[in-house]
Structure 1
Amino acid sequence: MRSLVVVPTYQEADNVDRFLRAVRVAAPQCDLLVADDNSPDGTGAIAEQTAAELGRVEVLHRAGKEGLGAAYRHGFRWGLDAGYDVIVQMDCDFSHDPAMIPTLLGAVADGVDCAIGSRYVPGGSTPGWPLHRRMLSKYGNRYTAAVLQLGIKDATGGFRAYTAETLERIDIDSTRANGYAFQSEVALRMAQAGLRLEEIPITFVDREYGTSKMSVRIMAESMARVTTWGVRSRMASRRDHR
């Protein structure tokens, strides 16, 4: 299987070189694509330097900061057009351990449509998180999974491996969320399509370098979108059963 790791970046100058090297060591069979939103700190230029040294690394220099979802849509479409069989998404800040990439790829090779790195299945964890953050994330995920009827425990995690067929089937280009709600929107589309999903336990750690992009406002926007999608889904279901 031709596999591509897609990583969106914004202000990741402290991480991107180390990250690309770590992925190459952990999953040497994977090519890499950096989708940089014109980071003022020079992330894109650093990625280019590392790419020249490592090989099989491409850098998309996007016009500006348009959000996580927009960067992923751009990166996924690039990978699909290039003919990759499997596309992995993950963060650049080492919250997602590159050493877990082969495990996700193995699940896809065994026949699942999407392997999800999950914090909330047995064996998954979020070490070092304060209690309020742990509760907010855990119950936010429970709410998302229940409202959208997803059947998974980690609906908002961003460490996943998709088959190319999965991304085409859910029409990834027509997704609309640009922030962190993008993860939930993709999960909803996969559930509605009846795709086979497998959650694989991961350890999610806080970044050591750089600044998190998560905020209360972003989380509130995500929950608002989830509620809207849930209401629409139920209304559509009722119409279908009349």
Structure 2
Amino acid sequence: MRKDKLVIIPTYNELENIRDIALAIMALEGDFELLVIDDNSPDGTAEEVKKLQHEFPERIHLLQRPGKLGLGTAYLEGFQYALMCGYQYVFEMDADFSHNPHDLIRLHKTAAEEGYDLVIGSRYVTGVNVVNWPMGRVLLSFFASKYVQFITGMPFKDATAGFKCYRRNVLETIKLDKIKFIGYAFQIEMKFTTWKLGFKIKEIPIIFTDRTKGTSKMNTRIFREAVIGVFQMKVMSWFKSYKPNQNVSL
């Protein structure tokens, strides 16, 4: 049977959330599979995933890494795994329920039935759909996306979003080994590269809810990295050739 849908979740100290999020994904219609990429969490996250693998041996997968190597490198390893195993749709999401697992179905439907190559779960496409964030963080995130739009020219309202669905052909086309950023700016670079290559992209509205368990990994240093990284990325793009991909969905 052809591998179809793989959800990638990078983790570091997500023991409080990983079982619940995994079970929520397993309960969805459509036989979603899950790949957890754990960066040697000292709280036992990987051990909990191994228990889940006994319950869902064909649908839950685990990659363990020796330490915290960056969000971007985790996703890049996950993308390579997905391509190697033949998955057709590859999803990014967080472990902490800030992204609603049921929205995976909407992301997939938009890609599979409407022919989009990248579907972004957007907090800002219909206003500001964020729950339980302090106002300072909402403003920081919102204006970070505005800044990215201004610098890059991308039309997306939520340029920093981390809830996405890629068609396989996008990941096959992007030179993943050339992706520069490994932190928060990784999410922006992947969207920018996909857009420059001419793939069809759509934002769909989601409600983003701040975590209730565990500790957020976001901080102002990560935002600063993204601000500087976006400018560097735009300058570097002037010296690159982005050939429109012949496999873009029509």
Tell me whether the two structures share a fold, i.e. TM-score over 0.5: yes
Distance 1:44 1:27 in 2: 25
Query: Which residue identity lines up with residue 16 of structure 2 in the other structure?
Result: D
Query: Which residue identity lines up with residue 15 of structure 1 in the other structure?
Result: N
Q: Which runs of 4+ in 1 moved over 6 A?
A: none
Cα-to-partner distance string for 1:98-153 (whole Å, 9 max, x where unaligned): 01001000011020001100001116600222221111111100111221111111
Cα-to-partner distance string for 1:41-83 (whole Å, 9 max, x where unaligned): 1101101101211231111011211010010001110011000
Distance 1:203 1:182 in 2: 22
Q: 3-state DSSP class of the match of 1:98? A: coil
**Residue number in structure 1 paired with 2:131:** 127
Match of residue 50, structure 1, among 23, 43, 52: 52
C-alpha spacing 1:4/1:124, structure 2 compared with 1 (3 Å):
farther
List gaps (5 residues or longer) in structure 1.
238-242
Deviation at 1:28, TM superposition (A): 4.5
Matched, 1:141 2:141: no
**Residue number in structure 1 paired with 2:247:** none
**Residue number in structure 2 paired with 1:159:** 163
Deviation at 1:172, TM superposition (A): 2.4
Percent of aligned pairs sharing the same letter: 41
Deviation at 1:234, TM superposition (A): 4.5
Match of residue 226, structure 1, among 226, 230, 234: 230
Deviation at 1:236, TM superposition (A): 6.1
C-alpha spacing 1:73/1:27, structure 2 compared with 1 (3 Å):
farther
Deviation at 1:222, TM superposition (A): 1.1
Distance 1:177 1:118 in 2: 21
C-alpha spacing 1:203/1:21, structure 2 compared with 1 (3 Å):
same
Distance 1:31 1:143 in 2: 35
**Residue number in structure 2 paired with 1:176:** 180
Distance 1:164 1:149 in 2: 25
Q: 3-state DSSP class of the match of 1:144? A: helix
- Report matched runs for 1:90-129 at 5 Å: 90-109=93-112, 110-122=114-126, 125-129=129-133
Deviates more, 1:68-77 or 1:51-60: 51-60
List gaps (5 residues or longer) in structure 2.
242-250
How big is the alpha-carbon RMSD for the aligned residues of Structure 1 and Structure 2? 1.5
Aligned length: 237
Q: 3-state DSSP class of the match of 2:130? A: coil
TM-score, normalised by the number of residues in structure 2: 0.91
**Residue number in structure 2 paired with 1:9:** 11
Q: Does the CA contact (< 8 Å) of 1:77 and 1:173 recur in 2?
A: no
Q: Does the CA contact (< 8 Å) of 1:123 and 1:201 recur in 2?
A: no
Q: 3-state DSSP class of the match of 1:66? A: coil
